[in-house]
Amino acid sequence: MSDDDRGDASEADRAAPEASSGGRNGQQDVVRRERFSGGPARGFLSSLAADERIFAADLAVDRAHVVMLAEQGIVDAEDAAAILGALAEIERAGHGALPDGEDVHAAIETAVVDRVGDRGGRMHTARSRNDEVAACIRYRLRTDVLDAAEATVEAREVLADVAADHVETVMPGYTHLQPAQPTTVGHHLASYESALTRDTARLLDAYGRINRSPLGAAAFAGTPFDVDRERTADLLGFDGLVRNSMDAASARDFLVETTAAVAALATTLSGLAEDLVVGASAGHVEFDDDYASTSSIMPQKKNPDTMELVRATAGDAAAGLNGLLSTLKGLPRAYNRDLQRAHGHAFEAVDAVREATEVAAGAVATADWQVETLAAAAGEGFSTATGVADLLAAEGVPFRTAHEVVAAAAERGDDYEAVASAAADRLSEPLTAYVDREAVEAALDPAESVAARDSVGGPAPEAVAAALDDARDGIAADGDAVADRRAALSAAADDLATEVATYA
Ligand code: ARG
């Protein structure tokens, strides 16, 4: 089991408050740090560069911890003020100005000690980098997840808007990429709005488990100091604790569910992207120039590259999820350095997929649906055949028989005559005994065919319009859910700043 020994130096300082950096304890500390400086593996061991992502998070976590230590009388107000002052300077100087270190936590502590002397080492009292890094990852990731969730909400808005403009724009619907039944652009786009609703929900659900504080767990085994874990959780806007200290330091399943949610979102988007690529190829939709590229050799080309990259992002996200799970699988309790390579997968995936979501939404918002081409294509391949069979079944022909009649008609053509002659061969009565010619011709018309399918969730214009009304309620509610969480985080950040200011 790997211990984070950095806490010991601070405790040594606490036991001998007069010790200067030249004193016995200070010397031991320097000796220890030099011995374990990494040697040739220094760069390999260090996460400092990647930790830029959690620089601001670490400063917040440090501040909340120091405020709590002062409130609990573990560190006196003067030392707390000195440390908090140093943290403000370190924040202004930025991540790039940090001294060398194994990671951002060590580097910030060194920078604090450089500014205020050994008492800066009190900052690490009653904690370890193990609970610290877990808190930093959660602190940062929760905002990233809200950003991704917001991107899904905005994409849903775009999909609902464009769908509403096209509830009557008939288009071919496919199964197996073969013409199947006519539908509308509105119904098609609304299907992605519906799918993205679940992606938003998965992200918000993950948020609830990300936003828990591991602070106070120390290395994994708790601390003898009288820490107030609820207080640091509150100051950082966490909605509660990961209570068991061993679980708190070890748990990374919140990364798994975040990356899984993001990979699922990317998979949804990849389907939309593929449909748009295929649609562009068939001349059904044209992308705005901003979302297309040309060829370096073929001057006439307008390629849907943005959608191809959105499609590919699903592969990256799936790879990230796989990398993360493979890293975590079989790790023993409690902390293992493997964990340093875990959260990068989640951060990378959430960034890439959030961007892909925004790009996909932009492409949909600006694409030009080719209404006439779509109308002409909507009836291709006798795509209204099912509607004719439905009509016969509605007039008393057993559906299986109706299916056979229309299948036989399809061998002859896709018009009334074909249906009538197939019916004459298979049914005991002529077609007109069941249904009149007008009704059959209506069923053969793509727009009428769509209008007839007005079951809940179906493509008929009024069914899609009703679904879109409900969708808008869901979009607004999810937008509020994101905004509420952001407001809670910014209120906590304000409270923390107010508390910190009392030590100035
Ligand atoms: N950089 C480390 C990480 O990301 C921080 C924790 C180091 N803890 C330790 N026991 N070595 O996981």
Give residue 219 CA to ligand 1 midpoint distance, Å.
10
Neighbours of 488 (CB within 10 A): 13
Q: How far apart are CA 356 and CA 372, in angstroms?
A: 30
Please tell me the predicted confidence (pLDDT) of residue 16.
39
Is 33 contained in some domain? yes
Report the pLDDT averaged over residues 38-67.
94
Indicate whether residue 335 lines ligand 1 (CB < 6 A). yes
Report the pLDDT averaged over residues 366-374.
97
Domain match, 203 and 348 both = yes
pLDDT band at 504 (very low <50, low <70, confident <90, very high): confident
Domain match, 332 and 434 both = no
Give residue 216 CA to ligand 1 midpoint distance, Å.
16
Is 112 contained in some domain? yes
Which CATH number do you get for residue 265? 1.20.200.10
Please tell me the predicted confidence (pLDDT) of residue 32.
63
Domain match, 367 and 406 both = no
The protein residue whose alpha carbon is closest to atom 7 in ligand 1 is: 129
The protein residue whose alpha carbon is closest to atom 11 in ligand 1 is: 4
Which CATH number do you get for residue 52? 1.10.275.10
Give residue 327 CA to ligand 1 midpoint distance, Å.
15
Give residue 4 CA to ligand 1 midpoint distance, Å.
8
Domain boundary among 377, 399, 421: 377
Indicate whether residue 339 lines ligand 1 (CB < 6 A). yes
Helix (H, G, I), strand (E, B) or coil at 112: helix
79-112 per-position pLDDT tens digit: 999 999 999 999 999 999 999 999 999 999 999 9
- Show the 3-state SS of 356-369: HHHHHHHHHHHCEE
Domain match, 175 and 32 both = no
Indicate whether residue 132 lines ligand 1 (CB < 6 A). no
If one counts the domains in the chain, the total is 3
Domain match, 340 and 409 both = no
Catalytic residues: 176, 295
Q: How far apart are CA 336 and CA 378, in angstroms?
A: 58
Q: State the residue range of the domain holding 323.
A: 130-225+237-377
For the entire predicted model, the pTM comes to 0.92
Give residue 142 CA to ligand 1 midpoint distance, Å.
20
Indicate whether residue 219 lines ligand 1 (CB < 6 A). no
Give residue 81 CA to ligand 1 midpoint distance, Å.
27
Indicate whether residue 58 lines ligand 1 (CB < 6 A). no
Task: Report the atom number in ligand 1 closest to the C-alpha of 133.
Answer: 5
Is 339 contained in some domain? yes
Range scoring the smallest mean pLDDT among 124-138, 262-276, 282-296: 282-296
Is 391 contained in some domain? yes
Contacts of 19 by beta carbon, 8 Å cutoff, 6+ apart: 12, 13, 25, 26, 118
Report the pLDDT averaged over residues 48-73.
98
Domain boundary among 358, 377, 396: 377
Contacts of 100 by beta carbon, 8 Å cutoff, 6+ apart: 48, 107
The protein residue whose alpha carbon is closest to atom 2 in ligand 1 is: 340
For residue 119, what are its two tokens? 């008492």
Report the pLDDT averaged over residues 397-415.
96
CB 446 within 8 A of CB 414: no
Domain boundary among 109, 125, 141: 125
Domain match, 351 and 426 both = no
Neighbours of 337 (CB within 10 A): 9
Please tell me the predicted confidence (pLDDT) of residue 28.
62
Report the pLDDT averaged over residues 159-178.
97
Indicate whether residue 103 lines ligand 1 (CB < 6 A). yes
Domain match, 108 and 174 both = no
Range scoring the smallest mean pLDDT among 290-304, 313-327, 372-386, 428-442: 290-304
Whether the pLDDT of residue 379 is over 80: the answer is yes
Is 142 contained in some domain? yes
Indicate whether residue 130 lines ligand 1 (CB < 6 A). yes
Is 3 contained in some domain? no
Report the pLDDT averaged over residues 295-307.
90
6-39 per-position pLDDT tens digit: 444 344 343 334 434 444 455 666 666 667 777 8
Report the pLDDT averaged over residues 221-244.
98
Please tell me the predicted confidence (pLDDT) of residue 22.
40
Is 256 contained in some domain? yes
Whether the pLDDT of residue 258 is over 50: the answer is yes
Domain match, 420 and 284 both = no
Is 309 contained in some domain? yes
Domain match, 111 and 244 both = no
Q: How far apart are CA 236 and CA 138, in angstroms?
A: 10
Please tell me the predicted confidence (pLDDT) of residue 200.
98
The protein residue whose alpha carbon is closest to atom 10 in ligand 1 is: 4
Whether the pLDDT of residue 3 is over 50: the answer is no
Whether the pLDDT of residue 473 is over 60: the answer is yes
Please tell me the predicted confidence (pLDDT) of residue 27.
61
Domain match, 396 and 438 both = yes
Domain match, 390 and 289 both = no
Higher pLDDT, 14 or 149: 149
Q: Token pair 């068939």 is at which residue?
A: 282
Phi and psi, residue 173, nearest 5°: -105, 145
Element at 179 (helix H, strand E): strand 178-184
Domain match, 219 and 249 both = yes
